[in-house]
């Protein structure tokens, strides 16, 4: 059997030296940020955190084309698993994060197994994810051993890096920054592999790729596994950062919306889409939350408006708009 063709950079435009240097400069600038403008750290942490989870959604929704309306199920599972392990058994959340990730993958593969086997897709898949998230929400509400409706208060045991507990925001800034960079790198690498191409093939035409020998069931399962694992790890960080979780703020529908809106608005199926969407949406939600404290839903109203505008006028997200403008400028220059 001939060796499968090694994917090379010719599958997509390679990065020139200039691009690498500017990326490096951006990274350095981001590392200096806590000392330059310390006030924005909370917003930056939330931007990176939701960029990580949005990237998780993006692998399944953007690349493999399976829109999930219930990614909060992985987010919540990740938050609960590590927090329960920490509160009840005293296990370090670093360790717990691996369990969260594993639990997310197992749940993802289970949901994927039951739905993709029967060729569930489109709105049906979106709804079944929603149903799973709601079931977990109901269980978390009722089950007293996991805190019930009151949720879990994670005790702060002082500054202890081994337990992922810090008195300052800076460590969380670097953790989320590096996880975000890691998720970008992972998806960037994934895009160039055969599996990455199978994702796109399955998204574009399920039946045609099946006819050409792509095992679409396996492809969707892999996408689901990566997606669920990434989102669950984000849940652990969220729980350790806020030190409090309850069923509504983790398994709630609003969280599924928060997670999926970032890649959709930034540009689904692109590496930078989730980050871009998060850069736009996160500060917006934080600002409106401060400006309209008595009306907790105003940021969702603006989300809804942005979503409608993006779907109607920018189906490729903000990144599509940026790309168009960029190419137009390029044409004009030369």
Partner 1 sequence: MTMSFVFQSLLNGLLVGGVYSLMAMGLTLIFGVMKVVNFAHGSLIMLGMYVAYWSVALLHVDPYVSILIVFPVLFIIGASFQKFLINPIINAPEHNQLLLTLGVSLFMENLAVFLWSPDYRVMKTSYAEINFYIGDITISLVRLLAFCFAMLLAAILYVVLTRTDLGKAIRAASEEPRGALLMGINIRRIYLISFGIGAACAGVGGAAITPFFPVYPYVGWLFVITCFVVVVLGGMGNILGAFVGGLIIGLADSVGAMFLPGSMKSIISFTIFILILLFKPTGLFGKNHA
Q: Does 128 bind partner 1 (CB under 8 A)?
A: yes
String marking each residue 261-300 x if it binds partner 1 according to CB under 8 A: ---x---------------------------x--xxxx-x
Name residue, tokens 């990065």.
15
3-state secondary structure labels for all residues of 31-52:
HHHHHHCHHHHHHHHHHHHHHH
x-or-dash string of contact with partner 1, 25-64, rule CB under 8 A: ----------------------------------------
CB atoms within 10 A of CB 41: 16
Is 305 near partner 1 (CB under 8 A)?
yes
Using the minimum distance from each CB to partner 1, give the nearer residue, 236 or 288: 288
Q: Which is nearer to partner 1, 15 or 143 (CB)?
A: 143
DSSP 152: E
Neighbours of 278 (CB within 10 A): 28
Q: Looking at the DSSP assignment, which residues form a beta bridge with residue 290?
A: none
Helices (H), the chain: 17-36, 41-58, 72-84, 93-117, 123-142, 170-191, 194-204, 206-211, 216-242, 247-251, 253-266, 273-291, 298-313, 317-333
Contact mark string toward partner 1, 172..191, x via CB under 8 A:
--------------------
Of the candidate spans 83-91, 96-104, 116-124, 237-245, the one that interacts with partner 1 by CB under 8 A turns out to be 116-124
Minimal distance, residue 36 CB to partner 1, in Å: 35
Binding residues among 200-259 for partner 1 as defined by CB under 8 A = 253, 257
Dump the DSSP string for 229-277: HHHHHHHHHHHHHHSEE-HHHHHSHHHHHHHHHHHHHH-TTSSSHHHHH
Closer Cβ to partner 1, 46 or 120, answer by number: 120
Choose which of 43, 134, 195, 316 interacts with partner 1 (CB under 8 A).
134
Per the CB < 8 A criterion, the answer to whether 60 and 184 are in contact is no
71 to 110: interface string for partner 1, x by CB under 8 A: ----------------------------------------
Instruction: Check residue 138 for interaction with partner 1 (CB under 8 A).
Output: yes
Looking at the Cβ atoms of 123 and 161, the one nearer to partner 1 is 123
* Residue 247 CB partners (closer than 8 Å, separation 6+): 76, 137, 140, 141, 149, 151
Q: Report the alpha-carbon distance of residue 165 to residue 119 in Å, rounded.
A: 43
Residue 83 CB, shortest distance to partner 1, in Å, is 21
Q: Which residues bind partner 1 (CB under 8 A)?
A: 67, 69, 114-115, 118, 120, 122-124, 126-128, 130-132, 134-135, 138-139, 141-142, 253, 257, 264, 292, 295-298, 300-301, 303-308, 311-312, 315
């Amino acid at each position: 059997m001939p060796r499968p063709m090694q994917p090379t950079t010719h599958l997509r435009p390679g990065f020139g030296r200039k691009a690498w240097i500017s990326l490096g400069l951006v990274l350095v600038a981001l590392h200096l940020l806590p000392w330059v403008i310390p006030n924005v750290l909370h917003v930056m942490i939330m931007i990176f955190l939701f960029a990580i989870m949005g990237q998780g959604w993006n692998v399944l929704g953007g690349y493999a084309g399976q829109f999930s309306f219930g990614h909060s199920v992985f987010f919540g599972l990740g938050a609960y698993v590590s927090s329960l392990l920490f509160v009840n058994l005293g296990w370090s959340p670093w360790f717990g994060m691996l369990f969260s990730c594993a639990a997310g993958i197992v749940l993802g593969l289970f949901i994927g197994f039951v739905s993709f086997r029967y060729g569930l897709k489109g709105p049906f898949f979106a709804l079944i994810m929603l149903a799973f998230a709601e079931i977990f929400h109901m269980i978390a509400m009722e089950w007293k051993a996991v805190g019930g409706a009151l949720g879990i208060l994670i005790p702060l045991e002082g500054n202890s890096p081994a337990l992922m507990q810090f008195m300052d925001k800076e460590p969380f800034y670097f953790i989320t920054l590096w996880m975000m960079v890691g998720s970008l790198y992972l998806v960037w690498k994934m895009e160039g592999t055969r599996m990455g191409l199978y994702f796109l093939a399955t998204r574009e035409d399920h039946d045609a790729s099946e006819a050409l020998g792509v095992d679409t069931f396996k492809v969707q399962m892999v996408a689901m596994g990566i997606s669920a694992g990434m989102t669950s790890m984000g849940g652990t960080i969220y729980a350790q950062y806020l030190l409090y979780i309850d069923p509504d703020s983790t398994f709630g529908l609003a969280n599924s919306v928060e997670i999926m809106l970032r890649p959709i608005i930034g540009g689904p199926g692109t590496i930078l889409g989730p980050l871009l969407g998060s850069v736009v949406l996160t500060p917006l939600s934080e600002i409106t939350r401060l400006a309209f404290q008595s009306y907790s839903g105003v940021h969702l109203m603006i989300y809804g408006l942005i979503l409608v505008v993006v779907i109607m006028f920018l189906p490729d997200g903000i990144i599509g708009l940026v790309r168009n403008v960029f190419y137009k400028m390029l044409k004009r220059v030369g």
